[in-house]
Structure 1
Amino acid sequence: MQRALNGLIGHHQKLMLKTQLRHIDFLADEIKQLDEEIKERMLPFDEDLELLDTIPGVGRRTAEQILAEIGTDMDQFPSAAHMCSWAGLSPGNNESAGKRKSGRTRKGNKELRSALVEAARAAGRTKNTYLSSQYHRLAARRGKNRAAVAVAHSILTIAYYIVKRKQPYIELGPTYYEERKRDTVIRQSIKKLESLGYKVTVESVA
């Protein structure tokens, strides 16, 4: 094994390695310069960036990309729903004879959509957050890709109100959906137990 690790590197291999390392150094310098340029251009919007950075799954770079695409003037969009539709994150409405045929999203801003979907996947990995709960709940029923698009829609909606109101993200908690749909959950649970042959009596302990 030791002899295998030593190997043989000739003149050609050394030349290629030097060339590749120089290219990596060149790219690193270019990225550094571009990062400094972006940082300088984003200075006037630092407050908005800090606010967007409070959303789970949204880091500084994603916040910069969101702001670069949607701007800071939310009055240009009639509503958050209009902005989500513009970004291509609203499901299409293909309905015939009362039947929904497709839930595919419309075409929109590909760069923004891609950034938000990545942010949604990152939000799905967070702990004890509403967005993480939403992602896993939808992923179990509709698959990870559709869940990511749905959470991306939520993130952009949140971003709309954050920039418009100049307020940080307020965490609702992982059980917000269940608490909001408490009565529905109770009815579904009773129905499920009754279908298994149980007689259910519900009493509040509060």
Structure 2
Amino acid sequence: MEQALAQRNSGVSLKPGKSRAALTITHPNAAGIDIGSASHFVAVPPDRDDEPVREFASFTTDLNAMADWLKACGIDTVAMESTGVYWIPVFELLESRGFTVMLINARHVKNVSGRKSDVLDCQWIQQLMTYGLLRGAFRPAEQVCVLRSLWRQRGMLLRSQSRHVQHMQKALTQMNVQLANVISDVVGETGQKILRAILAGERDGDVLAEMKNARIRASVDEIAKSLQGNWRAEHLFALRQAVDAFDFIGKQLAECDHEIEQQLQRLQTREGEPARGKQRGRARNAPKFDLRTQLFRMCGVDLTRIDGLDVTTALAVISETGGDMSRFPSAAHFASWLGLCPGTRITGGKVMSGKTKRCANHAAQALRMAAAALRTSQSALGAYFRRMCSRMDKPKAVTATAHKLARLIYTMLTKGEEYTDQGQDYYEERYRERVLRQLSQRAQKLGMKLVATEQPQPA
């Protein structure tokens, strides 16, 4: 086994008489599980049982039987592939039974030569885990996992609610009610008043137009003109159902926000209020409670002081990672886990590609959206993003800025320091000094000297 593994990893044939580098057994009591939807294949060391590979159904009774069998075989470490969401019940049950469970990235064990079967897969996972050739994926603490599930559920509800807003707009368009052309948001205060009045039976455009908010730029006559439609019964029925579905999901969102608030209170580690920072308006889809204070009491720092990060973005990151960054040795490791660091495909001493790896990370997606929002920011981060856009295409600039945001978050959470924005002018001056220093060093290598000249004053 050791010889076969050495050949697989080195790619060099071992000749008789040559010294062999023996692999060290790091997990002698390891088991491997190939996860499936209906059943799971489990492999233990061959000397532990007459039948070292067994198949267990995915029912809870069978999972408990699996745990009992692993205990009887003297297993203390279990490795499994992250297949869909089928691994979650197995992971949670084995962890509750006292096993050290490691979730393995399926891409790390898929490139195996020869035939592929569930039995061979679980045996291969068990062998790799025995020799310490696999690493477990990051999984936050149990209470943070609860918060993560609640926040992801909230995101799913928001996506469902947005589809019903599209259904409202479709019903209005079919009736030739062009309200969306004069009001930017049909689910805002003015739009909702008008829609609910229409469903209540009001058809007079002038009466409906008087419901507009003072901040609406369109005049009363323009709104009244847009509200002249055919009012067909089937389209009114579709509009009513879309509004009812919108209201129902709004009620579910309120219940989800309550659960998130309760979970954040359980995760609080300190008391106090965050220092007063920049005055920012509340995000439209943000929870109704004081999320900024709850996050401060959980993390000990105010992440919203970083330009581009609002409370929803901060919670999106914290719900995926938690406030404890001890699992990541450095900011570079944290950025690599997020999938925001440059790639390192090097062969023969030549860099083949620096492309960022594809990674469906929820925290990285939130940071990319925050980075894109810095386009018009007059902060140092905004100046950095615009400089990146001048050097590369926008998607790469967004990733580079999101990488910078990730490093700032890591530094704040590990060192407990508050972020202070130095401003756009400070960043531009630092950048200018850096460019002049590089030019001076290059001129010195060429035997020249850089001489500054006075800039002409504008008339």
TM-score, normalised to structure 2's length?
A: 0.39
Pick from 75, 78, 91 the counterpart of residue 329 of structure 2: 78
Contact 1:130 1:172 in 2 (8 A): yes
Distance 2:342 2:311 in 1: 28
- How far apart are residue 178 of structure 1 and its match? 4.4
Distance 1:4 1:168 in 2: 50
Identity of aligned residues (%): 28
- Output the aligned Cα RMSD: 3.0
1:134 matched residue in structure 2:
384
1:10 matched residue in structure 2:
232
Contact 1:124 1:131 in 2 (8 A): no
2:419 matched residue in structure 1:
169
- How far apart are residue 105 of structure 1 and its match? 1.1
Q: Residue type matched to 1:37 in 2?
A: E
Contact 2:304 2:311 in 1 (8 A): yes
Pair 1:24 & 2:246 matched: yes
2:142 matched residue in structure 1:
none
Pick from 361, 365, 369 the counterpart of residue 114 of structure 1: 365
Contact 1:88 1:113 in 2 (8 A): yes
Q: How far does the alpha carbon of each residue in 1:103-130 deviate from its partner, in whole angstroms, 9 at most, with x for none?
A: 2112445211111100111133321x12
2:56 matched residue in structure 1:
none
Q: How far does the alpha carbon of each residue in 1:40-81 deviate from its partner, in whole angstroms, 9 at most, with x for none?
A: 322326322861111110000111111111211111111010
Distance 1:5 1:62 in 2: 37
SS in 2 for 1:73: coil
- How far apart are residue 39 of structure 1 and its match? 2.5
- How far apart are residue 3 of structure 1 and its match? 8.4
TM-score, normalised to structure 1's length?
A: 0.82
Pick from 255, 270, 275 the counterpart of residue 33 of structure 1: 255
Structure in which a larger fraction of residues adopt helix: 1
Contact 1:92 1:104 in 2 (8 A): yes
Distance 2:244 2:340 in 1: 41
Distance 2:327 2:261 in 1: 25
Q: Residue type matched to 2:323 in 1?
A: T
1:52 matched residue in structure 2:
303
1:196 matched residue in structure 2:
none
Q: How many matched pairs? A: 197
- Moved segments of 4+, more than 6 Å: 1-4
Distance 1:4 1:181 in 2: 53
SS in 2 for 1:95: strand
Distance 1:125 1:171 in 2: 15
- How far apart are residue 34 of structure 1 and its match? 1.5
**Which 5+ residue runs of structure 1 have no aligned equivalent?**
192-198
Contact 1:88 1:107 in 2 (8 A): yes
Distance 1:169 1:140 in 2: 26
Q: 1:17 to 1:162 in 2, by over 3 A?
A: same
SS in 2 for 1:137: helix
Q: 1:63 to 1:139 in 2, by over 3 A?
A: same
Indicate the structure whose relative CO is greater, using CA pairs within 8 Å and at least 6 residues apart: 1
Contact 1:51 1:167 in 2 (8 A): no
Distance 1:28 1:58 in 2: 25
Pair 1:61 & 2:312 matched: yes
Q: How far does the alpha carbon of each residue in 1:81-115 deviate from its partner, in whole angstroms, 9 at most, with x for none?
A: 00110111111112344443322112445211111
SS in 2 for 1:131: helix
SS in 2 for 1:121: helix
**Which 5+ residue runs of structure 2 have no aligned equivalent?**
1-221, 269-293, 443-448, 455-459
SS in 2 for 1:101: strand
Pick from 68, 87, 93 the counterpart of residue 338 of structure 2: 87
Question: Which region of structure 1 is more displaced relative to structure 2, 129-138 or 31-40?
Answer: 31-40
